[in-house]
Amino acid sequence: MNGRKWFCPDCEFDLYNNTASAVGIILKNSLNQVLFEVRAKEPRKGYLALPGGFTSADESAEDAARRECLEETGLKVNDLKYICSFPNNYEYKNIHYKTCDLFFSADFPDNSSMQAQPSEVESFVWKEIKTEEDVKNLPLAFDSAKKSLLCWLKTR
C-alpha cells in the first residue's frame, strides 16, 4: 500500500501508517488583514504560517483549532467557520509525514492581546489578502495554507 502498511509474516501483524490530521485558522481583523505567525522552529523556520497544529487523540478538528490558536497566540476564538481541507507533506527531522490539514476562519476577538508561544512562534505579522497574487507572494511554510487562503478568498 505504498508505504502505508507493513506486515510481519512471523506474527501476521499489520501496522498502518495513517495520515495525521492538522488544523489551521485564517484569523481576520477588523481591517480585513490576516494574522500570520513567523515560525520559530523547523520545519520551515522563519516562514509564515497560520495559527494551528496537529490534532490530539479524541479531539475534534474544531477543538484542536481553538486549542492551537490559544496555545500559539493566546487568543480564544469561538466563531469558527470551516473553509476547506488539503493534503500536506510535513517533513520533520528528515521524516516525511503525510497530513490532512483542515482550515477554518474566525474573526480576531475584540479587545484581545496576543502572546506568542516562544517554542513555536517567533513573531506575528498582519497581511492584507485581497487577491490571488497577494497569496502567491507570501513566503508560506506550507502549500496547504496557500491553497486554503485561495479558497477563503473565493468565499469572501
Residue with cell 523547523: 42
Q: What is the pLDDT of residues 71-122, one digit of tens each?
A: 999 999 989 999 999 999 888 888 888 899 999 999 998 888 999 999 999 9
Rounded to an integer, what distance in angstroms lies between the CA atom of residue 41 and that of residue 18? 25
The string of pLDDT tens digits covering residues 15-70 is 777 889 999 999 999 998 999 999 999 999 999 999 999 999 999 999 999 999 99
63: Cβ–Cβ under 8 A, 6 or more apart, which residues? Answer: none
Phi, psi (deg, nearest 5) at residue 70: -65, -45
Rounded to 5 degrees, φ, ψ at 72 are -85, -30
Q: What is the DSSP letter of 109?
A: P
C-alpha grid cell for residue 98? 503525510
Residue 1 has pLDDT above 50, yes or no: no
> How does residue 2 score in pLDDT terms, banded at 50, 70 and 90?
low
Instruction: State pTM to two decimals.
Output: 0.89
Looking at per-residue pLDDT, the higher value among 97 and 142 belongs to 142
* Apex 148 CA angle, 146 and 149, nearest 5: 65
Does residue 37 or residue 7 have the better pLDDT?
37
Residue keyed to cell 490530539: 56
Measure the CA–CA gap between 35 and 25, rounded to whole angstroms. 9
